[in-house]
Amino acid sequence: MLTPVEDFWLHWHKDHSPEPTARRARILLLAAAGAPPTATATALGVSDVTVTRAIKRFERRRLADFPRPVLSVEEILTAAQVDLAHAQQVTDLTLQLFEATRLLHHLPARSRQILSTAALLHNVALEIDEVQHHTSGRELLLGMNLSGYTDRQQRIIAYTVGFHRKKVKPEKADGFKGLSPAQRRQTLALSALLRVADGLDYSQSQSTQLQKVVITPRSILLHLSGPEAKCDAARADKKADLWRVLFKTDLEVAITTPAAEDLQTVADLSVAPQTQMPQFVRQIMARHWLRWQANEAAALSGDPAAVKAVRLSLRRLRAALDLFSPYLIRKPVKQLRRRLQDVENLLGPVWYLEVLLADVKTYEAEHAEEHLPLRAAWEKEQRTALAAARNWLSGPEATELQTVLAEFIAMPAVQDDEPLQAGAPKVLTAILAEVTDRQAAVVLDKPKTYHPLRLALKKCRYALEFFKPALGSHVEPVIADLVRAQDHLGAVSDVELLQQRLADFLQVEAEALTQPQALPSGEAAERILAYSQTRQVDEQRHLAAFSQAWPAVRADRLQRRVSRLLLALNPSPTPSPVA
């Protein structure tokens, strides 16, 4: 019984090797086809002894009984009938990845040619043994001499081909341990690149193009285009398992439309009850993407209010992904939401400290107070936060995130579709259920228990703001009541955070009192505690104000008000005029 690789090489020797090697190959091929020794001897004009001897020698030595063929890359591609269009596409993609990720793989420049050859030959055994063509490809290449390459280089090429498909298990690959540790690492790195590139032409269409590669601290982002890009990207993601293990970084994909739409046009689209939910999500996201752009220049100049505006745009974008998640594919949305949250966390301290400092300055003015001891520390903290925000906004990550958002808006990862008329009630019902749950958990004399309710009310407010073009102006009083209640609860939450900050500052101040210039501990503590007490009074004032604003947005009342608003999506037919 011959293996697919043995069968291939015996046929090659039959057609290309001189006698008597070609004759021995013919003997073995006839024997493998089931011909008796006597019939084989008669057909080839040799003795029965010659046939028997050739078969026994092969049983002992297999292909080692034959000289190793010497072929160029082009010759083996021709002999194995390789699909050159696919082979060249995978090679081009592999080399693009190699060049774009040098900082990641750290492979020497000479590895490029080895990788190129491995990519060209990755399907060298497809016509020979389709089911196991990766391992058969490895054995085929180990059974020959590839002209222009050393034995070491050829072995790296062979094992790279062997690892281009299926789960990579180097410990089970015969002979792989014979390579040095550096060679094994090089082989696996080349295999990781080849596996992803091969996935990028899974459609065998050669239509998916790698537009660019963006390296971020957490992942490598591949920007793809082409009619089969989505299918090929899914396969590349699956085959990136070795990449993730070896390079300790994730690989993500963004699909670029051939002609990206003008986001202003998307933002200006009209909204009606029949508008499909994914289209509605696109419009919301386009509006807030544009608001980010509108405030970016001022934010880069160091204006805290503009940084806040950018952050609010990001928050609305994340809220849209959260609220409308039933209509979107989970994985890409989850990744995008996480990135938006990270940027919100980065930008948040700028405005928070701006508010704190404004409050401190107001307190100082009202109480004829000199600078509170904590003011200088908070001013320094704000400068640091503002510098970090400006650095991010002016850097490649901000540009890359804008691009990802624009591409998502142009072609969202849609999971489901239905008109806004059906979708809006579902979204709002889910939020109102959350408001009900959070309201039930509130303990009146424990301010911290109000925070989850504030978040639920904020989510309801965002949803109504999003749906306002369809619900009409009647939604405005409900939004105003939500904003009022949310603002009071936000002030309560801010006081809680402030009290912790003041306690932390007093601890730091106490540790610094050993310095000669330090403020006397009693005086410093008294001034800060006095400030703290005024803020506690403010907290009680806001709680009292919230109790006045709450009836308008209590869960049961809010449900009735929203139900009336939703009638706008199902208008009653206009009665016919009476004759």
Percent of the chain with pLDDT over 90: 54
Read off the tokens for 425.
Answer: 């009630």
Mean pLDDT within 261-279: 85
Are 77 and 146 members of one domain? yes
Are 367 and 509 members of one domain? no
Question: pLDDT tens digit string along 351-362?
Answer: 889 988 888 888
The amino acid at residue 247 is: F
Looking at the structure of the chain, the number of domains it has is 4
Mean pLDDT within 553-560: 94
- Does 262 fall in a domain? no
Write the secondary structure of 221-267 as one string of H (helix), E (strand) and C (coil).
Answer: EEEEECCCHHHHHHHHHHCCHHHHHHHCCEEEEEECCCCCCCHHHHH
Number of H helices and E strands in the chain, helices first, is 24, 5
- Does 33 fall in a domain? yes
Label residue 22 by pLDDT band (50, 70, 90): very high
- Does 265 fall in a domain? no
Q: Which of 252-266, 391-405, 467-481 has the lowest mean pLDDT?
A: 252-266
Count other C-beta atoms under 10 Å from residue 164's C-beta.
30
Chain centroid, CA 405 distance in Å: 12
The whole-model pTM stands at: 0.54
Are 496 and 410 members of one domain? no
Percent of the chain with pLDDT over 70: 93
- Does 347 fall in a domain? yes
Owning domain of residue 110: 73-255
Residues 6 or more apart whose CB falls under 8 angstroms from that of 523 comprise none
User: For position 209, which CATH number holds?
Assistant: 1.10.3210.10
Q: Which of 3-17, 177-191, 207-221, 439-453 has the lowest mean pLDDT?
A: 207-221
Are 447 and 486 members of one domain? yes
- Does 341 fall in a domain? yes
Are 250 and 105 members of one domain? yes
Distances (CA, A) of 320 to 265, 324, 326, 364: 19, 6, 11, 41
Are 98 and 213 members of one domain? yes
User: For position 277, which CATH number holds?
Assistant: 1.40.20.10
Pair 164, 191: CB distance under 8 Å: yes
Among 9, 5, 27, residue whose Cα is nearest residue 17:
9
Are 104 and 173 members of one domain? yes
Are 435 and 385 members of one domain? no
3-state secondary structure of 189: helix
Question: pLDDT tens digit string along 568-578?
Answer: 998 655 444 43
Read off the tokens for 252.
Answer: 């993500």
Label residue 174 by pLDDT band (50, 70, 90): confident
Question: pLDDT tens digit string along 29-56?
Answer: 999 999 999 999 999 989 999 999 999 9
Containing H/E element for 213? Answer: strand 209-215
The amino acid at residue 396 is: P
Are 344 and 433 members of one domain? no
Of 416, 446, 466, the position where a domain reaches its end is: 416
- How are beta strands 219-225 and 209-215 bridged, if at all? antiparallel
- Does 310 fall in a domain? yes
Question: pLDDT tens digit string along 278-287?
Answer: 889 989 999 9
d(CA 122, CA 136): 10
d(CA 347, CA 36): 82
Are 23 and 87 members of one domain? no
Of 360, 392, 416, the position where a domain reaches its end is: 416
Q: Which of 99-103, 131-135, 256-260, 264-268 has the lowest mean pLDDT?
A: 256-260
Of 35, 67, 99, the position where a domain reaches its end is: 67
Strand partners, 414: 328
- Does 578 fall in a domain? no
Q: Does residue 519 have a pLDDT over 50?
A: no
- Does 544 fall in a domain? yes
**Angle made by CA atoms 147, 151, 152, in degrees to the nearest 5:** 130
Pair 189, 105: CB distance under 8 Å: yes
Are 239 and 328 members of one domain? no
Are 102 and 236 members of one domain? yes
For the ranges 13-17, 228-232, 444-448, the one whose mean pLDDT is highest: 13-17
